[in-house]
Chains A and B, each alone.
Chain A
Amino acid sequence: SLWIRFILIQNRAGKTRLAKWYMQFDDDEKQKLIEEVHAVVTVRDAKHTNFVEFRNFKIIYRRYAGLYFCICVDVTDNNLAYLEGIHNFVEVLNEYFHNVCELDLVFNFYKVYTVVDEMFLAGEIRETSQTKVLKQLLMLQSLE
């Protein structure tokens, strides 16, 4: 079975801007994974693929300015589907925060979780329509 094990957003310095875990890890293990992902992803350049083998899994990642969006999945899973899954997610963030930047993710960390849960749940892609996700997010925003 194929599913996302975790999603990480990190900046170049290795600061985590979002960590979403879809399987049980203890805190030390999480920290180790975060550091390992940072180490493998940041050494790669534009000539490299957007995929890296990682333990028994693989990381699909995409860099936007100083931020790395990383998804860890099974080795046999569909690379390009997740690569565009990341981009779809980033476009939603961009729309929702009006030109999203790293600081938006810092100050609104609790809202970013809501966006993630709308689009990915239980390690699966939940909703892919940007229109539908944004409509839902605006509705939730209006409840504040």
Chain B
Amino acid sequence: MPAVSKGDGMRGLAVFISDIRNCKSKEAEIKRINKELANIRSKFKGDKALDGYSKKKYVCKLLFIFLLGHDIDFGHMEAVNLLSSNKYTEKQIGYLFISVLVNSNSDLIRLINNAIKNDLASRNPTFMNLALHCIANVGSREMAEAFASEIPNILVAGDTMDSVKQSAALCLLRLNRTSPDLVPMGEWTARVVHLLNDQHLGVVTAATSLITTLAQKSPDDFKTSVSLAVARLSRIVTSASIDLQDYTYYFVAAPWLSVKLLRLLQCYPPPEDAALRSRLTECLETILNKAQEPPKSKKVQHSNAKNAVLFEAISLIIHHDSEPTLLVRACNQLGQFLQHRETNLRYLALESMCTLASSEFSHEAVKTHMETVISALKTERDVSVRQRAVDLLYAMCDRSNAKQIVAEMLSYLETADYSIREEIVLKVAILAEKYAVDYTWYVDTILNLIRIAGDYVSEEVWYRVIQIVINRDDVQGYAAKTVFEALQAPACHENLVKVGGYILGEFGNLIAGDSRSSPLVQFNLLHSKFHLCSVPTRALLLSAYIKFINLFPEVKATIQDVLRSDSQLRNADVELQQRAVEYLRLSSIASTDILATVLEEMPPFPERESSILAKLKKKKGPGNLPDMDDAKRNVNGSTEHSEKNEGSTYPLTDLLNLNSTPSAGPSLLVDVFSDSSSPASVDVSEENFLRWVDQVPALKILPIKKKMEVLVINLNCVLVNFRFVCKNNGVIYENQLLQIGLKSEYRQNLGRMYVFYGNKTSTQFLNFSSSVTSQNTLKTHILSTAVDPVIEGGAQVQQILNIECVSDFTDAPVLNIQFRYGGALQNIAVKLPVMLNKFFQPTEMTSQDFFQRWKQLGAPQQEVQKIFKAKHPMDTDVIKAKILGFGVALLDGVDPNSENFVGAGVIHTKNSQVGCLLRLEPNAQAQMYRLTLRTSRDSVSQRLCDLLSEQF
């Protein structure tokens, strides 16, 4: 027991901890804990007043028990009492207990805040720090309300001790994150910037964090920090290592502070002032030079600290993207790291080079490292390093090297880790399409993908190959021949059967002249796979067969025999049975002309951006760099991406009627939403439903009737959600039993939603419960109040949801409701209309400001544009109302063309604020709109564009 041997206080605590450690079983531990809890309870309840030491000891034991994972329901009062002790150790335990076990709606908040207030006013730096740390750790709204205005005074007061300043700066930072509306900007902001000049580097370190966070939210207010940060950085990087004594870490001068200063500078564009700019360039050159010097120590700590600064400097160089020399030097430095013996460095170099690949100045320099990166793919032992190598190959790919890179990725795919196969498949599919000069190469590549990694080839990928083949008549014959050959393999992947079935059904005639692939041979080949396939594939094959009947009258009888067989006409699967019946009937009664019209070749699909890209983005999640280069590649002139559109392939699903339809009935909603079991796909499917219906008039094969009804119902549920993009109140769900209404209000990054549940029947709902699940709890927090388990007939009850937006998000939370009606358990899941745009605050600005910012947000990844057809009449007032409802300010007289609409606003999340500009250009003649969004974050631009474009 080291603690005891070191002669610390609280012997009883050490004994208790030892006892717990000696317990042989969980039961024994619980027994020992219960004994202790009973003991402490009796001490706290006893007549004799406890002295401070005992109180401290027992509170500390309770804390230990809590940290073991047991609930603690008493002792809070005693902990609060400790706060007003004059002894540091007692106070410390009190504050620790409060910080760890805090409960914001506790009755004790007032007492706690009172104690904090006294300590802040005590002028005792130790006590002040304890109080500030407690506020920084808890960061609750109540504390922000009580102290947010006081802390700036402590921070900038002349007589505040350095260590208290450090705590005050970070305490203020925490409150700014949790309750930005309560932290007032004021004359202190100017004085905070000057802390960058402070003598004490610890104060500078803390202040830099605070300034960086504030500068991200309001860059203009902290502009002066740029010159101070450059000056400070310059002094650090040029100092002899002994100058900064305490802050030198393994011969590196103030590495963490340097990193933070370089971060701060990344909130701003390159300085305009020439002298300042050249001073900064000198700093960056010095840092790059140091990387070339022999190390001052062999210790890894030395090289890590030095490289931490180097990588941050490279980030800044990439951020500025304006100094070709620095960019190329950075690239060469990273190139050296690619072969370093430290895995960490190789990994970071690959990662950092990915962003360099998207700069027009360094793209070519990055490409020179292709062979090294390819060999990393083959030799690296850590899968995450190989993953970065794949990312980098993807980022450096252009027309000049596409064939080699795609070939390397394909060969890597044969042995790649399961965890990254799907992503590689998507990347290969995108590159193959993007850089195909000759589409036979594209078709070969995709068929190879299916052969090597068929299980990882998602629908988007094989839909896309079909879409491209249909749209390009120069490749159709080749595609038919190639799939025909591929299907000869005795074991081929089901995805190949799907592609093969579809393509031969459309273009089998192009190879039917050859006796080796005559209609009958083609049919027999396809049908030989039939029985090994799943239901959706068989359904597709049946459609291919009816298409054959039209293409090749000579096999009509053979195919009719197949359709007529018991295994089809009486198939247990309704879908297959229905197809067999309908197709057989169609082929028997329709005249050749009608048949030819109904089964005519598919018309070309509208040219749209690949949905694969969207899929890849979803897979990678936000903030991931490799995707950004897609747009950026425009700079290099190698491809032309204009609009990003999802779900473009869905007409196919429809025509072939592949999607198994959710069963109809009262539980329909549940089915629809449970369909989206993979969280990332939720929004895609929302759009898909819409598109699906858009495309209905194009139907050439006649399936579905009863499915149409289902479709329409689905659509209602889904549309509900889009209806709420621009409004906050209304009924979101209704069936025969239940009506759910909403009222919501949003302020900055917080929202409150009142949910009303109305029982439409005259019978009680029993065991009523509702909960909210959100796909990503790190991005949105939702707290809900409890609802009474019984809702009387005809009654309405209310639930309140408190919502906090932590960072930008896509997935809407789902409200799950369960109750018993009559004997039956009802389950309902409704997507709540909590969307990113709800956290908008409108921003008014002048025409000049608008265009200046518009220009600043000019990087390709910051802009998302969509061109789409009007779904509603193009009424100016309605459009205005919708844009206002979306949350931005509508700026009049800003756009030179008065037909256009422009808007501006700021999305508030807990982590950051994202400024956003939008422009909507209607074209009444064409009944089309062009919507352009520019924000500083690509994921935000994309999401807002998706949401708003559905409104017109």
How far, in angstroms, from A144 to B67 measured CA to CA in the complex? Answer: 23
CB within 8 Å of A: which of B170-200?
170-171, 173-174, 177
CA distance A123 to B64 in the complex (A): 23
Q: Contacts A1-B911, A106-B21, A109-B64; is A83 near B304 (CB within 8 Å)?
A: yes
Chain B residue nearest to A143 in the complex (CB): B88
B307 contacts A80, C-beta separation under 8 Å: yes
Interface residues as binary, B126-142 with A (CB distance below 8 Å gives 1, 0 otherwise): 10000001001101000
Q: Which residues of A contact B8 (CB under 8 A)?
A: 108, 144
Contact of A81 with B344 in the complex, beta carbons under 8 Å? no
Contact indicator per residue, chain A 43-55, by CB within 8 Å of chain B (1) or not (0): 0100111111101
Which of these, B166, B382, B778, contacts A126 with CB under 8 Å?
B166
Question: Does residue B308 face the partner (Cβ distance < 8 Å to A)?
Answer: yes
- B-side contacts of A122, CB under 8 Å: 136-137, 139, 170-171, 173-174, 177, 209
CA distance A122 to B259 in the complex (A): 18
What CA separation (Å) do A136 and B164 show in the bound complex? 12
Is B926 interfacial (CB 8 A cutoff)? no
Stretch of B270-278, B473-481, B511-519, B618-626 at the chain-chain interface: B618-626
Please give 13 more A-B residue pairs, beta carbons under 8 A apart, in addition to A48-B382, A128-B257.
A5-B778, A48-B343, A49-B343, A49-B382, A56-B779, A57-B778, A78-B311, A110-B96, A121-B136, A121-B167, A122-B209, A128-B205, A131-B245
CB-CB < 8 A to B60: which residues of A?
110
- A47 touching B92, Cβ below 8 Å: no
B216 surroundings in chain A (CB, below 8 A): 1
A127 CB within 8 Å of chain B: yes
Q: Assuming the A-B contacts A23-B806, A29-B777, are A87 and B64 also in contact, with contact meaning beta carbons closer than 8 angstroms in the complex? A: no
- B344–A85 touching, CB < 8 Å: no
| Top 6 A-B residue pairs of the complex, sorted by shortest distance between their CB atoms | A107-B3, A80-B308, A122-B174, A129-B246, A143-B88, A124-B209
B173, B212, B623: the one contacting A74 at CB < 8 Å is B623
Chain A residues within 8 Å of B93, by CB: 110
* Contact A88/B64 with A80-B348, A107-B3, A108-B8 known, Cβ cut-off 8 Å: no
Residues of A within 8 A of B255 (CB): 81, 84
Q: Is the CB of B136 within 8 A of A106?
A: no
> Can you give 14 A-B contacts (C-beta < 8 A)?
A29-B777, A49-B343, A56-B621, A56-B776, A75-B624, A78-B308, A80-B307, A106-B17, A107-B14, A127-B205, A128-B257, A140-B88, A143-B126, A144-B9
A44 to B597 Cα, complex, angstroms: 61
Nearest chain A CB to B338's CB is how many angstroms away? 14
* CA distance in complex: A16, B66 (Å): 12
Residue in A85, A109, A123 whose CB lies within 8 Å of B67: A109
CA distance A97 to B5 in the complex (A): 12
**A17: nearest chain-B partner, CB-CB:** B67
A144 contacts which of B89, B171, B621, B778 (Cβ < 8 Å)? B89
B533 within 8 A of A: no
Which residues in window 301-337 of B have CB below 8 A to A?
Answer: 301, 304-305, 307-308, 311-312, 315
**Is A115 in the interface zone, CB < 8 Å from B?**
no
Q: A3 to chain B: closest CB distance in Å?
A: 8
Is there an interface contact between A144 and B88, defined as CB atoms closer than 8 Å? yes
Q: Which of B254, B304, B384 contacts A49 (CB 8 A)?
A: B384
Contact A129 B201 (CB under 8 A): yes
A132 within 8 A of B: yes
Say yes or no: is A39 at the interface (Cβ < 8 Å to chain B): no
Taken residue by residue from 6 to 26, chain B's Cβ proximity to chain A (1 for < 8 Å, 0 otherwise) reads as 001100001001000100000
Complex CA–CA separation, A24 to B750 (angstroms): 14
Q: Are B623 and A78 in contact (CB under 8 A)?
A: no
Task: With a 10 A CB-CB cut-off, give which of B216, B347, B779 has the most chain A CB atoms.
Answer: B347
| In the assembled complex, B594 has its CB within 8 A of some CB on chain A | no
- The contact string, 1 if C-beta is below 8 Å from chain A, for chain B 200-223, is 011001100100110010000000
- Bound together, the chains give a CA A57 to CA B911 distance in angstroms of 13
| B interface: dominant SS | helix
- Per the bound structure, the CA–CA distance linking A88 and B96 in Å amounts to 23
Chain A residue with Cβ nearest B93: A110
**C-alpha spacing A53/B384, complex, angstroms:** 8
- The verdict on B84 contacting chain A, using a C-beta distance below 8 Å, is no
Kindly state whether residue A79 has any CB partner on chain B within 8 Å.
yes
Within 8 A of A (CB), among B759-787: 776-779, 781
Partner among B4, B69, B213, B625 whose Cβ is within 8 Å of the Cβ of A1: B213
CB proximity to A under 8 Å, residues B59-80: 60, 63-64, 67, 69
A64 CB to nearest B CB, Å: 13
Assembled-state Cα–Cα distance A143/B90 (Å): 10
Q: In the bound complex, how far is the Cα of B60 from the Cα of A94, in angstroms?
A: 23
Tell me if B2 is interfacial: C-beta within 8 Å of chain A.
yes
Provide the residues of chain A in CB contact with B574, threshold 8 Å.
none
Q: Which positions 99-144 of chain A face chain B at CB distance < 8 Å?
A: 101, 103-104, 106-110, 113-114, 117, 121-132, 136, 139-140, 143-144
Cα separation A45 to B365 with both chains bound (whole Å): 33
**Contacts of A126 on B, CB cut-off 8 Å?**
166-167, 170, 202, 205-206
Q: How far is the CA of A86 from the CA of B167 in the complex (A)?
A: 20
Q: A110-B63, A124-B170, A124-B206 are in contact. Are A55 and B249 (CB under 8 A)?
A: no
Nearest Cβ on chain A to B166's Cβ, whole angstroms = 6
Determine if B209 and A84 form an interchain contact, defined as CB atoms under 8 angstroms apart: no
Contacts of B17 in A (CB 8 A): 106-107
Residues of A within 8 A of B257 (CB): 128
Question: Interface size bucket, A side?
Answer: 35 or more
A23 vs B806: C-alpha distance when bound (angstroms): 10
Q: Scoring B residues 109 to 147 as 1 if CB is less than 8 Å from chain A, else 0, what string do you get?
A: 000000000000000001000000100110100000000
User: Is B202 in contact with A1, judged by CB distance below 8 angstroms?
Assistant: no
Contact A128 B249 (CB under 8 A): yes
Answer yes or no: B385 CB below 8 A from chain A CBs: yes
Q: Which residues of chain B come closer than 8 Å to A101, judged between CB atoms? A: 2
Asked if B912 CB lies within 8 Å of chain A CBs, one says yes
Residues on A with beta carbons closer than 8 Å to the beta carbon of B868: none
Min distance, Cβ B861 to any Cβ of chain A, angstroms: 14
**Closest A residue, CB atoms, query B384:** A49
A51 to B67, CA, bound (A): 27
Q: How would residues 264 to 300 of chain B score, 1 for a CB under 8 Å from any chain A CB and 0 otherwise?
A: 0000000000000000000000000000000000000
Q: Is B456 an interface residue (CB 8 A)?
A: no
Instruction: Tell me the bound Cα distance from A118 to B69 in angstroms.
Output: 26
Residue pair A79, B344 in contact (C-beta under 8 Å):
yes
Q: How far is the CA of A122 from the CA of B134 in the complex (A)?
A: 10
With CB as the reference atom, state the residue of chain B lying closest to A52: B384
The distance in angstroms between the C-alpha atoms of A48 and B343, with both chains bound, is 7
Given A52-B384, A56-B623, A75-B623, CB of A128 within 8 Å of CB of B1:
no
Which residue on A lies nearest to B262, using beta carbons? A78
CA distance in complex: A51, B308 (Å): 14
CB-CB < 8 A to A31: which residues of B? 69
Task: Name the interface residues of B806-826: CB closer than 8 Å to any CB of A.
Answer: 806-807
Specify which chain B residues have a CB less than 8 angstroms from the CB of A2 in the assembled complex.
263
**Minimal beta-carbon separation of B848 from chain A (angstroms):** 29
| A117 near B133: Cβ-Cβ < 8 Å | yes
Q: How distant is A52 from chain B, measured CB to nearest CB, in Å?
A: 7
The contact string, 1 if C-beta is below 8 Å from chain A, for chain B 736-772, is: 0000000000000000000000000000000000000
Closest to B99 in A: A113
Neighbouring B residues of A52 by C-beta, 8 Å? 384
CA distance A2 to B263 in the complex (A): 9
- A124: which B residues are within 8 A, CB to CB? 170, 173, 206, 209
Report if A114-B92 is in contact (Cβ < 8 Å); known contacts: A1-B911, A75-B624: yes
Least Cβ–Cβ distance between B722 and chain A, in angstroms: 25
Q: Is B163 an interface residue (CB 8 A)?
A: yes
Complex interface residues of chain A between 49 and 93 (CB less than 8 A to chain B):
49-53, 55-57, 74-76, 78-81, 83-85, 87-88
CA distance A21 to B247 in the complex (A): 26
The answer to whether B531 has its CB under 8 Å from any CB of chain A is: no
Are A85 and B256 touching (Cβ within 8 A)? Answer: yes
Q: Contacts A75-B623, A126-B202 given: A103-B384 contact, CB under 8 Å?
A: no
Chain B residues with Cβ below 8 Å from A78 are 259, 263, 308, 311-312, 315
